[in-house]
Structure 1
Amino acid sequence: FAIDLAIMSIMCLSDFLSSIHSVFISNLQKEIEKQTGYRSSRKRRSESQYDYEVYHSLEEIQSWMFEMNKTQSHLVDMFSIGKSYEGRPLYVLQIGKRSRHQKKAVWIDCGVHAREWIGPAFCQWFVKEAINSYQYDSVTRRLLNQLNFYIMPVFNVDGYHFSWTTDRFWRKTRSKNHKFHCRGVDANRNWKVKWCEEGASSHPCDDTYCGPFPESEPEVKAVAKFLRKHKKRVKAYISIHAYAQMLLYPYSYKYATIPNFNCVELAAHNAVTALYSAYGVRYRYGPASTTLYVSSGSSIDWAYRNGIPYAFAFELRDTGYFGFLLPESLINPTCTETMRAVKAIASGLLKKCETDRDRFPYI
């Protein structure tokens, strides 16, 4: 009787566990192959027109950047801010109407975490929309006339390339560690602000490894150097991530309210409202520490600490069903709604919402 009872208990437990788990993607390999071009009918094979509704490899993205720089020179300027660990150039596009006076600027980076492919897709989408709508959209024209946008489509170039060729779910950079076989550092835990404290790992094999020291990664160091050089003009820092459907701002490393909270909170509210107006997708917004989780050494905390008053991190679609494998069919709506949010943030920079603490945000 005891054995029968034990068997029944195990069967009941098995049924219970089955009831609380469900399979979202039945054939993971098939979904990966859909996005990496193993089909002969791949739309990206067309050389006649660049397709913004498919994911692109690093080589394709960099070729596209050269083409934008060549054909849209009235609004686009391309330059390199350094090289990655594996020697790849770190390209940035400057978008904006050329002007004699120095304009305020917005920095946008994508692809900090290699597996978040919707990020680079959005950065390309932003450039395309900004250029195409400059002539007929008064809001875009005003933004490009009065602001410069620095766009870095792929921050973590080595990791992104590796996610295409070897491991679709790779997150970190590809730097080597002398003591462990594990490679890479979390490029969003490597910034010099409360480095390697709560929310970061000191073990090289962990996905949130902070690195051997702040700015150990050449990619992080190059961006930090550029932003320090231009921090008087850069008024907003925006980093595009996935997934969770959130808009986050400092602090990441502690539970505290930033000095210019009212202005930043208003900007975040306006951004998610604009985003919602496209397809009714809801985003949560607030301080990263309370809205998502505590993390140290993050780029938004670093940007804020270095005098950039508006520092945001987007976590784009979805909330976990597809996760990092967001289908290409959702690139268009995701980028369309995010474009509205970014334009709302940029438009807010042209309005006055400033106090003494806005100018010195870390006091």
Structure 2
Amino acid sequence: MKILWFFVCCLCIALSHVECGLYDGFKIYELATTNQTIGDGLDLSELSRNESFFELYSISGSPERMMVHPKAQADFLQLLNIHNMSYTIVNHNVGLTLLTEFITNSLLRRMYPYQGKLGTERYYSHAEINRFIEDLAKQNPTRVEVKTVGRSFEGRWLKTIRITNGDGRANKNVILVDGGFHAREWISPAAVVYAIGQLVNNYSVHSQLLQDYDWVILPVVNADGYEYTQLAADARLWRKTRQPSSAKCIGTDLNRNFDFHYKETGASSNPCEEAYAGPRAYSEPEAIVVRDLIQGLADRGKMYLSVHSYGRYILYPWGYMDQLPDTWQDLDEVGRAGADAIKAATGTVYQVGCSTQLLYPAAGASDDYAFNAGFPISFTMELPAGGDNYFNPPAADIDGLVKETWVGIVAMARKVIEKYPLN
């Protein structure tokens, strides 16, 4: 109890001495619609191109949300009135919310320092995650191998962990998992790290998943962006990498940077937009790392899973066009195994289907690339939203979200093992 009171007092003192920063006064409006096009043609996606309006990517079946600059709020409300659109303000000051979360996370780091394991009490840094997988390798030398596979633009080491059952057999099938493509999606690395812990430390329960399969996992792809979002409240909503893309703007959307129908649809040529595909395919060293992992494992790879947030989706190719691949039924079967398991365990409903049909087109994405490279099952899994801006599940929600995600991953892996036994 004393620790809790100390925590609350520190938070109150900190909030009374600092300003909210870049997002001070921004509001989030929840609109009385579940469609991007309102009434007589007001298009929210077009509206969000205005630098003062920021559309929060929609969740199917849920109301649309817009984050609006203080100077544009009067005009925004007038526009809603013209279109007879009712609304609710769900956040009156985004800056204050982000600041509160930043201070809370800073205090949680002090309360729960890294001590050899990663729990679900807080979000962990890229350096802590690397240290965790290295410690696992030292503790389990026959079953765990950590490999440095590249460096980020800012020089951070990108490392994979390979988890086996320790029998020494070579050429097993492979499940490849990655997280943290987009910087602000903190729940993604948290879920991936939880999966690592389950496969290594709870081996007796999950031994079947490792009998004929090795798991190769890259916990944080966009290490620079992920670290940047933890430096300050103003940086929390950053999405892209940190390599300068123009004299004015920084970063590329890693999940548009792969050389498979690069920059055809759902990708931007504007360096200042969030879906900027980069000046060329593989302009980002982090994308090269994932490409090389996929190519190096394609002959044995049976499932590629890229964990993102948010939306409650299990998405499969194609993302570059509104058309299903010939083997879509195999993809659908595995995806629905995961969605059904999650629904049975927690009641959370995931939608399963083609990226372009359920969400939006996204050419140059890693799931399309992996599928084309030879992985018969390839998914982008969008975890549930959290917080007012959807990208910020509070620390108290981490435990439930990562455990729920693991239920789905296990079910999908079991179905893959059933469908693609080791030859």
| CA shift in 2, pair 1:209/1:107, >3 Å | same
Q: TM-score, normalised by structure 1?
A: 0.87
Q: Flag the structure with more relative contact order, 1 or 2, with Cα contacts below 8 A and sequence separation at least 6.
A: 1
Structure 1 position 141 matched with structure 2 position 207: yes
- 1:304 is matched with 371
Question: Which moved further from structure 2: 308-317 or 339-348?
Answer: 339-348
Alignment correspondent of 1:106: 175
Alignment of 1:172-183 (within 5 A): 172-177=240-245, 179-183=246-250
Measure the CA separation in 1 of the matches of 2:195 and 2:187: 12
**Correspondence 1:167-206 to 2 at 5 A:** 167-177=235-245, 179-206=246-273
| Contact in 2 for aligned 1:191/1:299 (Cα 8 Å) | yes
The aligned amino acid for 1:103 is K
Query: How far 1:46 sits from its partner (Å)?
Result: 5.9
Q: CA RMSD in A?
A: 2.2
Q: 1:48 to 1:263 in 2, by over 3 A?
A: closer
Query: Do the aligned partners of 1:92 and 1:150 also contact (CA within 8 Å) in 2?
Result: yes
Q: Which amino acid aligns with 2:186?
A: W
Distance 1:41 1:65, change over 3 A: closer
Shift of 1:346: 1.2
CA contact (8 A) 2:172 2:300 kept: yes
Q: Aligned letter for 1:192?
A: D
Superposed displacement of residue 319, structure 1: 6.9
Check if 1:116 corresponds to 2:185.
yes
How far apart in 2 are the matches of 1:82 and 1:47? Answer: 26
| Contact kept in structure 2, 1:44 and 1:56, CA below 8 Å | no
1:275-314 equivalence runs, <5 A:
275-314=342-381
Name the SS of the counterpart of 2:418 in structure 1.
coil
How far apart, in 2, do the equivalents of 1:34 and 1:131 lie?
32
Contact 1:115-1:170 at 8 Å conserved across structures: yes
Aligned counterpart for 1:317 among listed residues 384, 387, 392 = 384
Aligned to 1:350: 417
> Which residue of 2 is the match for residue 28 of structure 1?
97
Q: Does residue 256 of the first structure (1) align with residue 323 of the second (2)?
A: yes
Deviations 1:5-43 (A, max 9, x none): xxxxx8x959x77x5132247541344225531x27843
Q: Deviations over 1:196-240 (max 9, x none)?
A: 111100111111010111111111111111221221011110000
Question: 8 Å contact 1:276–1:337 — kept in the other structure?
Answer: no
- The unaligned stretches of length 5 or more in structure 2 are 1-77
Counterpart residue identity of residue 112, structure 2 = R
TM-score, length basis structure 2? 0.75
Structure 2 residue 138 is matched with structure 1 residue 94:
no
CA distance in 2: counterparts of 1:156 and 1:316, whole angstroms: 17
Query: Partners of 2:126 and 2:226 in 1: how far apart?
Result: 7
After superposition, what is the alpha-carbon deviation per residue over 1:300-347, rounded to whole angstroms, capped at 9, x for unaligned?
Answer: 111111111100001101277451111111111111111111111111
Pair 1:155 & 2:224 matched: no
The DSSP-based 3-state class of the residue aligned with 1:148 is: strand
Q: Write out per-residue CA displacement over residues 260-293 of structure 1, whole angstroms, 9 at most, x where no aligned residue.
A: 1111111111110011122111111100000000
The change in CA–CA distance for 1:296 and 1:273 in structure 2 (over 3 A counts) is same
1:145-200 per-position Cα deviation (integer Å, ceiling 9, x unaligned): 221111111100111111111411111111123x4221110000001111011110
CA-CA distance at 1:58 after TM superposition? 1.6
Tell me, yes or no, if structure 1 residue 78 matches structure 2 residue 149.
no
Kept in 2: contact 1:250–1:300 (CA 8 A): yes
- When the two structures are aligned, how many residues end up with a matched partner? 337
Give the fraction of aligned pairs with identical amino acids, expressed as a percent. Answer: 30
Taking a change above 3 Å as real, the CA distance of residues 52 and 75 of structure 1, as seen in their structure-2 partners, is farther
Q: 1:181 to 1:258 in 2, by over 3 A?
A: same
Q: Quick one: distance in 1 between partners of 2:117 and 2:125?
A: 16
Distance 1:40 1:198 in 2: 41
Q: Secondary structure at the match of 1:323?
A: coil
1:112 positional shift: 0.3
Residue of structure 1 in register with 2:286 after alignment: 219
Closer/same/farther in 2, CA of residues 203 and 260 from structure 1, 3 Å limit:
same
Cα distance in 1, alignment partners of residues 299 and 104 from structure 2: 40
Distance in structure 2 (CA, Å) of the matches to 1:117 and 1:40: 15
